[in-house]
């Protein structure tokens, strides 16, 4: 039986006429830093299928049963570290990828700087807290774009932070929230761009969400959000303009018409 050797050109062959060779080469060289490998798992899998070859992954969390409705993991992965599993899945799609993974929660600012410095683009899905703000701020200070994905009901939503966009603290305020209050504050301060049914839903949830461990999320929404992130990175690599925070890139097929 002949050995299987995956050629990069074969992996991306169906991109012809859509993604130019020049842009595909930029995708191939780009290094993505994925901070948080839950939703990040879908982003990572879609990115490697699109031809991205260089990844830095970090997450100290383990796969749980309730993750299986929306994240890229399988039943066999329950109990395993998310960053390690995502690294394995990326390698299963393209064994020639360059993947660094760290099975820990990022807490050290020095380490954060080192990982950001050797990355081209950052996908920030850290838990609410000081490190989340720091990653955004340091990335913007060093000219690195930050993609900040959110799953909102049926809608995929991504905030893009660049050196010339507002900071998280400009949107939310100086107080650093460490729980679901962060997301409520973030959504409240960007709601003006969302459909009315989204606003109605979150107003109805209100303070109840603050006492829950995590908000409700759907698998279909995760796919939408992941697609927005990967397409957004490609658009950034192409040199085309992107919507910047606080205006989100938002896609919702259930939006009222």
Q: Please list the pLDDT of the chain residue by residue as tens digits (257 residues).
A: 445 789 999 999 999 999 999 999 999 999 999 999 999 999 999 999 999 999 999 999 999 999 998 989 999 999 999 999 999 999 999 999 999 999 999 999 999 999 999 999 999 999 999 999 999 999 999 999 999 998 887 888 899 999 999 999 998 888 888 777 788 788 777 766 666 777 677 666 655 655 555 677 888 889 999 999 999 999 999 999 999 999 889 888 776 65
**Token output for 128:** 């609410």
Q: Which of these, 49, 50, 92, lies nearest to 74 by C-alpha position?
A: 92
Residue 66 lies in a domain: yes
Residue ranges making up the domain that contains 28: 20-250
Q: Parallel, antiparallel, or unpaired: how do β-strands 249-251 and 31-35 relate?
A: unpaired
- The CATH number of the domain holding residue 99 is 3.40.50.720
**206 domain residue, yes or no:** yes
**pLDDT at residue number 153:** 78
Query: Which SS3 state, helix, strand or coil, does residue 27 take?
Result: helix
Return the pLDDT at 2: 45
The 8-class DSSP code of residue 81 comes to B
The residue whose two tokens read 């939408």 is 224
List own/partner pairs for 58-63 with CB under 8 A and 24 or more apart.
Answer: 58/33, 58/34, 58/83, 58/101, 58/102, 58/104, 58/105, 58/106, 58/115, 59/35, 59/83, 59/86, 59/102, 59/103, 59/104, 59/105, 60/103, 60/104, 60/105, 61/37, 61/105
Q: 14 lies in a domain?
A: no
As for how many domains the chain has, the answer is 1
In this structure, is residue 141 part of a structural domain? yes
The answer to the question of residue 56 being in a domain is yes
31-35 and 54-58: which strand pairing? parallel
Q: What is the pLDDT of residue 1?
A: 41
Whether 8 maps to a domain, the answer reads no
- 228 occurs within a structural domain: yes
Query: Do 23 and 234 contact (CB within 8 A), yes or no?
Result: yes
Residues 119/102, Cβ–Cβ less than 8 Å: no
Residue 4 lies inside a defined structural domain of this protein: no
- Please tell me the predicted confidence (pLDDT) of residue 208: 62
Of the candidates 97, 101, 69, the residue with the CA atom closest to the CA atom of residue 85? 101
Q: What is the pTM of this model?
A: 0.91
Instruction: Specify the pLDDT at position 61.
Output: 96
Two structure tokens written together for 234: 């490609």
């Amino acid at each position: 039986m002949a050995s299987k050797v995956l050629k990069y050109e074969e992996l991306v062959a169906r991109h012809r006429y859509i993604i130019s060779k020049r842009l595909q080469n930029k995708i191939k060289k780009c290094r993505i830093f994925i901070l948080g490998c839950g939703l990040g798992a879908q982003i990572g899998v879609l990115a490697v299928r699109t031809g991205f070859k260089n990844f830095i992954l970090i997450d100290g969390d383990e796969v749980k049963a309730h993750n299986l409705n929306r994240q890229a993991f399988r039943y066999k992965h329950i109990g395993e570290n998310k960053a390690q599993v995502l690294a394995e899945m990326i390698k299963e799609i393209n064994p020639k990828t360059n993947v660094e993974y760290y099975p820990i929660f990022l807490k050290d600012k020095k380490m954060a700087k080192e990982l950001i410095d050797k990355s081209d683009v950052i996908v920030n899905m850290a838990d609410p807290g000081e490190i989340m703000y720091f990653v955004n701020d340091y990335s913007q200070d060093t000219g690195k774009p930050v993609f900040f994905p959110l799953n909102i009901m049926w809608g995929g939503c991504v905030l893009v932070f660049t050196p010339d966009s507002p900071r998280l603290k400009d949107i939310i305020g100086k107080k650093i929230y460490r729980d679901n209050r962060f997301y409520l504050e973030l959504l409240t301060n960007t709601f003006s761009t969302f459909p009315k049914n989204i606003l109605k839903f979150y107003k109805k949830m209100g303070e109840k969400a603050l006492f829950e461990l995590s908000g409700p999320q759907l698998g279909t929404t995760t796919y939408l959000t992941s697609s927005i992130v990967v397409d957004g990175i490609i658009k950034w690599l192409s040199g085309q303009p992107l919507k910047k925070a606080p205006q989100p890139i938002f896609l919702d097929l259930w939006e009222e018409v």
